[in-house]
């Protein structure tokens, strides 16, 4: 079998790996050693895992691929804080991963956030989104999702200065290409792999899943054991505006999403983030802010205003004054709100933009 046709070892959960090792007739501690080599020691080949006997390394290499992602393009923003990687998967599909560095400020800890993809492309066609405009290609496996974080960890480790501790990813946001809830099972498997105590050890509280608002999956997440953060891409205060930019709104209109969010909050007691991409002339007027304030009043939530990253679709960000006014109206309605100023616009860090550039050859 060609190496590319082998299953990826990163698709196995911890207990599946233990089972596979038992089937090979190996003692259980070998499974632990392999897990540690993959998720703590950043192994890039079976050969490197010298804690294992050579015969076992060979047997593993005959059965599994170790790295499902190949970096084909790497960009760093001018301020050095954002790095974006375009990966080719074993079958040639392309996905993007972004590393965002936030230095410590006002007592907050420095963060190294990986923004990862869950699908190659996306079927949902939001008009302002570069990924949505490229259509759906395929689901990512759990290993392809989790391995993006491992790549970022390796990059951070490679950048450590001699004598300094290696930096690691501290937070993960499922906000890259694709709709995580349209690939629910693999996304949750990846959460489990990343959360494992003997591996990457990312606390669920440090992970955020962003969804376009798929109601059945919002309800399903409320019953998961993980204390993961939920972000809802709302982007409009009413159905008329929302349906104009987000076709999925016809299937799950705002009232249904709100009902699911209320159930989610009452079950989990966790705060929801609503994302609101500001599109000049579409959803950024003071009356839209008033309407949004009414919609969210009294809810355990937070609003993230995101001036749109310009794409080929012709949307532009509102002037700063209008963004500030929108924020102030929400504040006056008693809603917790922040403005997320773009990071990495100089490297096409917005969702799906680098892939679009690579495919069209524009640059």
Instruction: Enumerate the H helices of the chain as residue ranges.
Output: 14-23, 28-39, 54-63, 130-134, 142-158, 184-195, 215-222, 239-245, 254-268, 286-296, 320-332, 353-360
Q: Which is nearer to ligand SF4, 31 or 178 (CB)?
A: 178
Of 189, 177, 185, 111, which is closest to residue 146 (Cα–Cα)?
Answer: 189
State phi, psi for 121 to the nearest 5 degrees: 80, -170
By a kind-dependent CB cut-off of 5 to 8 A, residue 175 interacts, out of ligand SAH, ligand SF4, none, with: ligand SAH
By a kind-dependent CB cut-off of 5 to 8 A, residue 311 interacts, out of ligand SF4, ligand SAH, none, with: ligand SAH
Q: Which is nearer to ligand SAH, 115 or 156 (CB)?
A: 115
Pairing assessment for the beta strands 94-102 and 111-115 based on DSSP bridges: antiparallel
By a kind-dependent CB cut-off of 5 to 8 A, residue 83 interacts, out of ligand SAH, ligand SF4, none, with: none
**Contact pattern from residue 331 through residue 360 relative to ligand SAH, giving x for each residue in contact according to CB under 6 A and a dash for the rest:** -------------------xx---------
Handedness of CA 190, 30, 41, 206 (dihedral sign): positive
Q: Does 351 bind ligand SF4 (CB under 6 A)?
A: yes
List the one residue from 86, 115, 124, 150 that touches ligand SF4 (CB under 6 A): 124
Checking phi first, is residue 214 left (phi over 0); if not, alpha (psi -120 to 50) or beta? beta
List the one residue from 179, 282, 284, 348 that touches ligand SAH (CB under 6 A): 179
Residue 236 to residue 246: CA distance in whole angstroms: 9
**Contact pattern from residue 185 through residue 214 relative to ligand SF4, giving x for each residue in contact according to CB under 6 A and a dash for the rest:** ---------------------------x--
Q: Which is nearer to ligand SF4, 76 or 256 (CB)?
A: 256
Checking phi first, is residue 314 left (phi over 0); if not, alpha (psi -120 to 50) or beta? left
At 120, which helix (H) or strand (E)?
strand 119-121
Q: Which is nearer to ligand SF4, 34 or 177 (CB)?
A: 177
Q: Which residues bind ligand SF4 (CB under 6 A)?
A: 122, 124-126, 129, 131-132, 178-179, 212, 233, 351
């Amino acid at each position: 079998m060609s190496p590319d046709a082998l299953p990826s070892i990163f698709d196995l959960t911890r207990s599946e790996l233990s089972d596979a090792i038992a089937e090979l007739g190996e003692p259980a501690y070998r499974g632990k050693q392999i897990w540690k080599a993959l998720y703590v020691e950043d192994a890039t080949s079976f050969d490197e895992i010298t804690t294992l006997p050579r015969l076992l390394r060979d047997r593993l290499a005959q059965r599994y691929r170790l790295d499902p992602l190949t970096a084909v393009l790497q960009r760093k923003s001018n301020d050095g804080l954002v790095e974006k990687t375009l990966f080719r998967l074993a079958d040639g599909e392309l996905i993007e991963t972004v590393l965002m560095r936030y230095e410590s400020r006002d007592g907050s800890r420095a963060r190294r956030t990986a923004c990862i993809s869950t699908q190659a492309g996306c079927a949902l066609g939001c008009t302002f989104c570069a990924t949505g405009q490229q259509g759906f290609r395929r689901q990512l496996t759990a290993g392809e999702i989790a391995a993006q974080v491992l790549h970022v960890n390796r990059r951070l480790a490679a950048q450590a200065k001699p004598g300094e501790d290696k930096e690691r990813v501290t937070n993960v946001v499922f906000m890259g290409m694709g709709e995580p809830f349209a690939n629910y099972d693999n996304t949750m498997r990846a959460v489990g792999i990343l959360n494992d105590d003997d591996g990457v050890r990312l606390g669920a509280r440090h992970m955020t899943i962003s969804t376009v608002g798929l109601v059945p999956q919002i309800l399903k997440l409320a019953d998961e054991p993980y204390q993961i953060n939920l972000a809802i891409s709302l982007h409009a205060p009413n159905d008329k505006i929302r349906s104009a930019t987000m076709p999925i709104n016809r299937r799950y209109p705002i009232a249904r999403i709100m009902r699911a969010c209320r159930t989610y909050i009452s079950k989990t007691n966790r705060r929801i983030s609503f994302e609101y991409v500001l599109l000049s002339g579409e959803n950024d007027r003071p009356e839209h802010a008033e309407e949004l304030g009414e919609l969210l009043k009294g809810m355990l939530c937070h609003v993230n205003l995101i001036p749109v990253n310009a794409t080929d679709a012709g949307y532009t960000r509102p002037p700063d004054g209008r963004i500030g006014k929108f924020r102030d109206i929400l504040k006056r309605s008693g809603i917790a709100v922040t403005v997320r100023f773009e990071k990495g616009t100089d490297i096409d860090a917005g969702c799906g933009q680098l892939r679009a550039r690579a495919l069209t050859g524009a640059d």
